[in-house]
Structure formats: C-alpha cells, structure tokens
Structure 1
C-alpha cells in the first residue's frame, strides 16, 4: 500500500506530466513551422517581361520584416524565401520544387501570374502544399473541389471583364469594340468575360488581336486595331504592354475610349510611362485605395501604410499600386497565420484561409471585405469603376461584383 506522503507526490507528477503532454499536443507542425519560425515560399517575376510586378514581392518582404520586428506570429518569426521565376512557367516549376523539397516551406504565398501558377498548381496540390493568395485573377483559383490547396486573391478576370462589358451595353450600346489581349490563359479569360458580359451583343466586337508575352513591342497590333476603326479599345495586358498600347494609340493620333484591366492600370508603371495626356478618359476598375489620392489622406489604413513605407520602404515610388497589393496580401496572410494559433499544419492554414469573415485589410476600398468558405475561395469579389483624369484615377458608381448588382 502506498504511503499517504507518496500519493500527493505521485499525483503532482501525474498532473505535471499531463499538463506538459497537453501543451505539446496543442502544437502541431508541418514542414516549415517550428516553435520559432514559419517558412513562407514565394515566386516573383523580378526579371523578364513582367518584372514591374516584382515590387509586390519587395512590399511583402518589407511587411513581414515589420511583423517580425513586432514579435512575429504568436512568437514565431517569418522566414520569407522569395525566388525569381522571370514570368516563365518552366522556371516557376523549377523554383517551386526548390521551395518545397529544398527549403521545405510551409506554404507558397502570392506567386504572380496565371501562366506560372497554372504550371505549378497540380504539383502543389499533389504535395498538399498551400498555393495561397495567388496574385492572378483566373477563375481556376476558385475551385476547392478539384484544387483544395489553391486559393487566389484578386477578383477573377472573367467577372471584371463582364463588368466592363455590361457598362458598355448600358452607356455605349452601339459601340464597335476592338480587343487587345495577351495570348495565354490570362488574356483569354478576359476575352471570355467580355463575350459573356455582352451576350447577344458580342457581335459588336469587330476585332480581336492577340500578342505574345515574348514580343518586345506590340506596336504592330495597335496599328492593326486602328485600321479596323473600333470606337472602344479594350486592353487586357500586363504592365509593360498596357503602357505601350496607350502610348502607341496616341502616336497614331487615335483616341478611342480605352478600357484597361485592373492589373495594368497602375499610375506609376503604366499611365505615367504612357503619358498622362494620352491616358485621359481611360476606364478601369479598382478594389483597393490609391495612396497618392488626396481623398485617402485622413484614412487610418492609408496612414498606417504611409508609416510603414517611411520605415520599411523609404524612397520607394508611392504611386506604384504594386505596393498596395503586396501590403494588403501580406496583411491578410498574417491574419490567417494568427488564426492558426499553435496548429501550423498545411491543412489548418487552408482551413483558416477558407474561414475569413468580413476581413478588411488597410488597402481595400470602403465596403470591400474578404469573405471565404470551404466552398468559395473567391477572396476579392467586388470593385468600383474608375476614370483617369489629370494624373490619377477617379472612382465613380457603386460597388460591383459577385455579390452586388451589375447595374
């Protein structure tokens, strides 16, 4: 029989052992996560035809540096590993394998571009590694049934293009339309969206002209489009080619109504190089604020962004909307990782990413909120139309998108 003195001692040991075991049991890790670190992988076109988007990666790196300076995520520091894929699908595959099999990251965050992400999607899903907040608006990132490990961030391109088409039906029902688009999944999705939005009026498209991302210039394509004499020129391009299209049209003395996709509407990298005088009256759409717009000078979120730039990205061109995108995406990922708590498994990362409710990063327009679920991986689902005037975009109309009327 145990002595009365021994029983309390044994009970104390048992309680301590149980408490320690419970604490250990609460911590769950996959590759890339430890008590002190979270490894996040990233692909970015720091070189190549879409190198302007490289600023997104620089903004994300700076945001994570700020997060680490503030104590990290539940005491863990972020190790952000970002590689250049040059906007090349084969290079993206190579660098993704390096991130997953070499660096053993917990997840791949914010890789840029439809072609590159298409090339790595099946691999990451087979490996059950999150391909989280893809920096592309293809609808294929919102397919949790077939690709449960892939989630986009942008409003999908088809919905954006449908909004432009419906605006044209309402405001310019008799317009003849010419379309310049990139000859890949990115450009073709915009083309499908315009046709879906126009519906029975799709015959108003009098010319579709595609270009290859490897082309140094798209001048010849603009010349062909001008010859067809459309009233409206729709430009579905990446940054470099968006600027070229606007500038070349002006050089030809051609001034149709220009509608340009959100991802190529940046003031500093598209409208300014194209020439502000050449961009007047152009239309696009936006889901995020513009830090250079005076209407946001007293906005709390933009004040936080400005303080961030002062300390972590001094000297950067603040009119570059890539900064807004990178900051907002990084802020959203930090929210997801905080929600993960001590369960830093890949499955829980996706579970939490699919459980966002009315999340509003500092960068989003008023009223635009992030809501996701296990059956809807659409992160940004609303935007507003905008018109270029002077040296900036001016918003007009109501919120439009998946959850709002298109009128």
Structure 2
C-alpha cells in the first residue's frame, strides 16, 4: 500500500499523518525506512518523528548493541498516546467504542434504538461517550467519528426507506455531534468506515486492491485501491445495493424495482420466513451475480465480506463460492480466494470511524478531504484553503 508524503508547502500536517500511519503499519521501524516508504527525506521524517514523540503519540526503542556501534532507534505507536470514539448509527440502534491509537477496542457499548430520531440519537450518543471516556479519565481523547448508512446528498435515496435512517435528512451531522460530545467530529458512510477499519486492522492490511462488500441492514460496498477507499464524485461510490438485478422485481424505496439489497441484506433476511440456511440457498444465484459484477468492474485481488451480519451467515455465503460465475477474477494464479470473510468483525465500522477522527485531527486537510468535502471539482491538497 503506497503511503506517500507531499512536498507542497502546506503538506506538513498531511506528512505527519502519513508518517504516523507508516509507524502504525510497519513498526517497530527506523527513520530511514520510514523515509524510504513514504518518499520524504530523512531530515523531514526526523523532524516529524521528534514532534510526534514529544507529543506522546509514538515511542522510541533501541535494542541492546550486539557489536560495535549503537543500533538505530526504532519507532512504534504509543497505544495510550491518545484515544478516539467510534459511533455507528443504524436503523436498529447505536454502537459506540473507545479505541486507542493501536486500534484496540478499550470498551464498547450498545443502545437499542430502532428508527431513532436525530434528537434522541445525539442525546444517547452524548451519554455513551461520557460513559466510555470516563474509563480513561485524564487520557487524551482526540475526536469522534460517526458512521451511518448512505448515500448522502441524494434527494431520492438519502435517509429514505428501512435500510437507512428515515427522518435524518438535512441534519447537521458534524455540528450536532460536536455539540453533544464536545469533541472534534467527523462522519462517513458505514460501508466506507468498515472498509477503512478492515484495511487498518483486518484482512485488508494484506491486500492493496480489494472490494469490501458491506452486509448490513442494507447492502453496500467500496473498492479499496492502494490502501485508499475510492470515493466517487460526491463521495457516494459503492451503493451496490441499488443496482437493479431482477427486472420487474420488488419495489425499492429508492424508486427502482429489483434492487440488489431487496434480496441480499439483513432487511431482506428479516422478511424471509424460513431458516438462514434456506435463505442463503435461495439468494445464492443473486449473490453470485453481484460478485461477478464487482469482479468484472474492479478486478480486485479478493472480495471481503463484512458488516453487521453474523459471522456464521457471512461464512455460509462465502461457502457458496463453488457456484461463482466466470469473471476476470477466475484466474489460475490467484494467491487469495475470490471471497474472504472479514476478520475485523462488527468492530471494523467502529475502528474505521475512530480512525477518521484520529486522521482528521492530526491532519485537518486529510480529515476534511476524507470525511466531508463532497463539492465536485475541489481538490483541497491543491488549493490549500484550510487552516492546518
């Protein structure tokens, strides 16, 4: 995965985030190796490392000398150097977790809140965050990231229907989240947050090109390219659940008929009268069509199944892979299965949401690019219009 720094004059916060990310991914690691990996000079890396070490984000270690001279100091993340809160709001309820800089879940909590209103949700979130942060009283809580069903900003699809948060249209998400928690706030679609969490802490760490198929109340997915989630022109790339796959099929709240998530999602399973095993057999042909579409469009190393669905259900779906259609992914030289089940589990969304907050606070430009900037045609790394 290519994490590369920038030499533009306003790139210092971005470089700080890249260096920290490199230490997290590859530590213990020496300064020279960081410089080689991210494309910055050793001097630049050393300056950033000194700042990060002084601020308590990283630790420097030196092995006992085994001969002449001192071995180079190596760097690793200080897990207790900071924390972030990840929030996941779904049509079923609210999940939250306190997560350290290494991605470890310190504690998580859940509130049953079907079809929760924004006012009730932010009141609950405020109480949940207070409960979690008390576990590390005096610790540095960098920010909060919230994941919720997309898409965002689409008149006929956003916050419409049982697979999303009906009644949340035009809610000022970041502002409400900051007011209710007192923390710098960021937000993202749950499928993108889950893909980020899997890249940082799960199977995605071993792949640079993979598709994360998010199996939640609805269905979505994102392509991860060289470690980066592909966003699309308005930040909504990945709404695979609204691809019509059954001509004249069930009506979907988006207005189309036969959309994929009407047949392949937890909401579709809820409407099923038989057993989970029977349901998997029933929807396997549609699932195989979806995999063929993904593979032929994106040519991924693998498709990783994850989301809110129980691991047993995901494994049943993956177990039907013997019936997959021919596609560009049907290669004899594969090093990974065409379908894998995510290792990050349901915490992947929370870890990804928390990671958004860490990246956003340590590198404000990156945070805005990744979580909020959806104005078509604006490139914040080029215009430098945000204060670092």
**TM-score, with normalisation over the residues of structure 2?**
0.36
Name whichever structure is richer in helix by fraction: 1
